[in-house]
Each structure stands twice: as C-alpha cells, then as structure tokens.
C-alpha cells in the first residue's frame, strides 16, 4: 500500500515539470530568432540603406534578398516562440511580483503577436523585389499597407509590447529575485539599445541588445527548469 501511494505521488508531481519544459525550451530558443533577424538586417545595411519607406525597402531587398529573407523568417519564428517564452517567465515569477509580471508578459505576448504580422508583410516586399515590375506602384502599396488607419494599432501595440513590455518583465524578474541581477539587466537592456540604434542609424546596437536579452531569457529558462525539479 505504501509503495502504491508513493508511486501515485511521484506521478502527480510529474505534470508540472512536463508543462515547464516546453516553456523553458521557448525561452532558450525564441530570443535567438531576433539575434539572427537583427544581425541579418545589420549586415544588409552595413553600407547604408533602410526599410523606412516602401521604396527604400524594395531597394534594400533587391540588393540583399538573402539577408532580408533570413531576417524576416527569423523574426517570424522568434515572434511565435516568444509567446510561450513570456508565459514561462511569468510562471517563474509566480506571486512574487504578480502585477508587474502579468503586465509585462501580457504586453510582450501581444506585441510579438503583432510583430509576427509586421514581419510577415516583409515577405511581400521580398517577392515584389525579386519579381521586378512597377517599383513605384509596389512602393505605394507597401506604404499604404503600413499607413492604413485600420492597422496602425498593430504597429503601436508591437512597439508597446517590444519596449515597455520587455522592460516591465525584466523589472518583474528582478523584483521577484528569481534570476540574477545581470540576467534581468540583460533583458532590460533591449529597449534602450533598440532606441539608441534607431537614433544612431545603425542596427548593431539592436544586435547587442538582442544578444543581452537572449542571454537573460536563457537564464530565465534554466531557472524555470530548476524550479520545477
């Protein structure tokens, strides 16, 4: 009888760890999608260029189709995986910084869902650039799609989740003391480095920020696995 009870208890304890494993794997992998995406874009723009307008995006993609396609696909994969990743971070935080963790995780998840949509649109530009044809018309279509009033909220929510959400989640991890200070700081470095890169006009700040964020989230995943043992 005692052996049977012990076995049942062991089986009952197994599901929480099993549920943590996929979330931890997402924390291990999701942020590296953005390292690849930002690095590919940085390499494509190493001699100048940007995707600020439809015309500029088409010109950049025509000059560097491989890098731009890689950047787009990596960003899409990272965005998909970031949703379970932030759920894993929220689970690790638990009740220690409940409100801050909930806000950060919710904003990040919503923001990266929107980022998937934003990144997916990049494939359209890639196909246009590779096909050739009326570039001015293609550029007008891309600009119109980004500036259409019905989808402005997608870009705004992406920015809110990507910058504010990441900062709040990092603060929640720090306040909850579930990861080392340097790991939480690495996550929180992404928003300022991203903004600095935009102001400075170079993508390499974003690459650095993506790396520090990735390291911080990997540590978060490791702590989540350790906490479930």
36-87 pLDDT per residue, tens = 999 999 999 998 888 889 999 999 999 999 999 999 999 999 999 999 999 9
**Least confident window among 47-61, 161-175, 207-221:** 47-61
Residue 225: alpha-carbon gap to chain centroid: 21
**Does 5 map to a domain?**
no
Distance CA 84, CA 103 (A): 15
Q: Are 106 and 87 in contact (CB under 8 A)?
A: no
**Does 75 map to a domain?**
yes
Instruction: Note down the domain range covering 176.
Output: 18-227
The string of pLDDT tens digits covering residues 94-121 is 988 999 999 999 999 999 999 999 999 8
Number of other residues whose CB lies within 10 A of the CB of residue 12: 9
**Does 6 map to a domain?**
no
**Does 90 map to a domain?**
yes
**Does 214 map to a domain?**
yes
pLDDT value for 43 = 97
Query: Within 13 Å, how many C-alpha atoms sit on residue 21's CB side?
Result: 6
> What are 193's two structure tokens?
């480095």
**Does 110 map to a domain?**
yes
**Single pTM value for the model:** 0.87
> What is the number of structural domains in the chain?
1
Number of other residues whose CB lies within 10 A of the CB of residue 32: 19
**Does 4 map to a domain?**
no
Q: Residue 7: which pLDDT band, with cuts at 50, 70 and 90?
A: very low
């Amino acid at each position: 009888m005692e052996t049977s009870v012990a076995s049942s208890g062991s089986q009952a304890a197994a599901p929480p760890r099993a549920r943590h494993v996929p979330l931890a794997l997402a924390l291990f992998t999701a942020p590296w999608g953005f390292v690849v995406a930002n690095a590919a874009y940085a390499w494509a723009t190493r001699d100048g260029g940007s995707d600020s307008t439809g015309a500029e995006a088409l010109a950049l993609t025509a000059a560097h189709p491989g890098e731009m396609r890689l950047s787009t696909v990596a960003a899409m994969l990272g965005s998909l995986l970031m949703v379970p990743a932030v759920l894993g971070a929220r689970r690790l935080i638990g009740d220690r910084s409940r409100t801050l963790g909930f806000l950060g995780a919710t904003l990040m998840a919503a923001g990266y869902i929107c980022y998937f949509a934003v990144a997916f649109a990049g494939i359209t530009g890639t196909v246009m650039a590779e096909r050739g044809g009326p570039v001015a018309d293609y550029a007008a279509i891309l600009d119109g799609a980004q500036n259409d009033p019905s989808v402005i909220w997608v870009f705004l929510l992406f920015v809110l989740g990507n910058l504010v959400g990441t900062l709040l989640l990092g603060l929640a991890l720090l306040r909850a003391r579930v990861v080392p200070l340097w790991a939480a700081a690495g996550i929180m470095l992404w928003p300022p480095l991203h903004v600095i890169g935009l102001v400075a006009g170079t993508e390499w700040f974003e690459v650095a920020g993506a790396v520090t964020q990735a390291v911080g989230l990997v540590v978060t995943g490791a702590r989540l696995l350790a906490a479930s043992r």
